[in-house]
Amino acid sequence: MLAADYDIQLNKTSRNSVLLQTNINNTRSDIAQLIKVLVEISQGIEKRLADGGSAAQQAFAARAKSLMTDVPNLPNFTCFFSRFREDTSSITSEGDMRSAFFAAYREKQCEHINLFSPEVDKRLKNGPELVSANFVIPYPPGFPIMVPGQVIDAETIGFMRKLDVKEIHGYSAALGLKLLNPAFLKSESRPVVVLRTRRRLPNGSQRRLTRVRAPCATGPGRENPSTG
């Protein structure tokens, strides 16, 4: 309506909010026009409700309740899967998100499960645990509700199932939830990050440095220099 009838472009919309952006080109008159339009729309709604009688007012109240009250609560962070924690007995929730993030680059270590599949509910109840392989970011609001290596609980699944925003970064409805699969999570080998760089020496030759870094390492990585 704002775009079609009043030539006001929105940035994003959700089930109960709109997001507008201003920039250096906007003036006080632009803001005054926006307020005027919103008042006009509000007055139009009130007139239709008055003309429609009690039935229209009850229907509107029910719709407003569904948009403003019956909304999913933002889920709290759960924990990182034990594989990505250096000290599982710690009362703090830090974890090695980096290793989980790069582990997801190997498709054989991942799986996809439809969000509404009974398999999701079965695993929430009986295991194995669902462990996110991605950052999952609904927009709006635009911040993660899942991060790599995080254990996904029923609260987070419930929130995802109630979302009706069109843009969810890190999630594809066609593929489903991208998870780190149980076989990988149970394996004894830990993901290792290998970084290779070249350093030019004063004599003009180059030295190749290979840095091997294990997850949750407390010390520096090991360097294996070789002249190349």
Read off the pTM. Answer: 0.64
Give which of 2, 12, 16 is closest to 64, Cα–Cα.
Answer: 16
Q: Which tokens go with 52?
A: 């429609």
**What are 181-200's pLDDT values in tens digits?**
999 999 865 554 445 566 66
Query: What confidence tens digit (pLDDT) does each residue in 121-151 have?
Result: 999 999 999 999 999 998 877 889 999 999 9
Of the candidates 91, 88, 89, 219, the residue with the CA atom closest to the CA atom of residue 149: 88
Which two tokens mark 31? 């803001």
Parallel, antiparallel, or unpaired: how do β-strands 130-131 and 167-169 relate? unpaired
Per-residue model confidence (pLDDT) at position 214 = 46
Query: Which residues of the chain are in CATH 3.90.100.10 domains?
Result: 82-186
CATH of 82-186, one of 3.90.100.10, 3.40.50.720, 3.40.50.2300, 3.60.20.10: 3.90.100.10
Token pair for residue 156? Answer: 């987070």
Condensed to tens digits (0 to 9), the pLDDT of residues 48-88 reads 999 988 888 999 888 888 777 777 788 999 999 999 998 88
